[in-house]
Structure 1
Amino acid sequence: MTKLSVNINKIATLRNSRGGDVPNVVQFAKDAQRFGAQGITIHPRPDERHIRYQDARDLKPEVYTEFNIEGNPITKFIDLVLEVKPTQVTLVPDAVDAITSNAGWDTLKHKDFLAEVIQEFKSNGIRTSIFVDPVLKQIEGAQATGTDRIELYTESFAKQYDLGNKDAIKPYVAAAELAGKLGLGVNAGHDLSLENIQFFKSQIPNLMEVSIGHALIAESLYLGVENVIQMYLQKLK
């Protein structure tokens, strides 16, 4: 079964909008796990506009499933990850002003940099994943960095699927197949939802984990958090 990691950035956004501690991100993470989530994902950004660096520290003792921290490996982020030591770190090439992630790494251009960062994390017992587009040469480049996994950036698939274009899955299937041949684990995330997750899961070989935040939280406003988590788990079986 593919694991479901719940990205709780949107809970932090809601909290920060009022300046207090409601909703509490640690309690939400605890509840999400209690409802069946098999991991918790956070993506702190340098301006801490949603998840704060302190949230990562506060969450560490409460995440008993898998703790995944995403982000651009600037010095501040690297220091945080080495301090917290999550289960997994997912490297994402975010621009400072990006609203959300919008591209995968150029693993060929940034090979040396990524390899150095990945080696540091792996030497500290932290599993590594690289956020990539479904481009075969980028998958090959990812393998050359020494990463454990890749995370397929799925926005393009989600947009095309909504338009009825199921062929949009093809580059993702090819990317996952190549990753498997190269010994890389496959994760996925971005704009996956209850509408497209079952089809995506059914087509992608050896899909180990999906990280879902925005859609899951939005769907939960209507259907309830516990119910939505269970619905995802059913579709991922």
Structure 2
Amino acid sequence: MKWGVKYGPEYVNRLYAMVRRHLQGTFRFVCLTDRNEGIRSEVECLPIPDLRLPEGLPERGWKKLTTFEADLHGLQGTALFLDLDVVITDSIDCFFEQPGEFLIIHDWKRPWRVTGNSSVYRFKLGAHADVLAQFRATQAEARKTFRNEQAYLSDVLHKQGKLAYWPSDWCCSYKYHCIPRWPLNYFLDPKIPAGTRIVIFHGEVNPPDALDGRRNRALRFVRRAPWIAAHWRE
């Protein structure tokens, strides 16, 4: 999903290329977006459905819920949602083979909570339309109770007994798992933990920042991660 100008078309194009390198067989690669300029032809660009919030309310932090439309542009089958800024480092075939009705990353920072990280989640298209319908019917209360879509989504599906998590080593956080702890971050390069298949970028670092050794936060030094270039490419 891509909206606005925060991420350029190169994010979509590189994500497609990473999936193509790391997923066997045929697949449809769909980008829900409000602008398709510069996006490679193999990507199907479709409009982002209307979240239907009251006029004037920001949709940021909630747009992903529209992937649960009962009829999402006629798409059918199993969908694996990937954030634009992830870096795929190994085969992702297993993400389609893992048993479970709805799978998501378990939150790293507070693992005692049921909250998932929605950078990578898998679901059957149209199967969870009730989640979106419930949000639309109770959006004011939901926005007061939950910080964002992933907290709301995790809570609803957990209460339905449908929430499950990926094996913990498949999706790692660049921020928490790749950057060595202080003071080693001054002397050692960031590394990919064993078993990692998808590196998640959240907070103040994106793939180009990691490649150049930048952190968009004061007093947080990080060395360059040259391995980003080998994976985050077309």
| Structure ranking higher in helix proportion | 1
TM beyond 0.5: no
Query: Structure 1 length normalisation: TM-score?
Result: 0.32
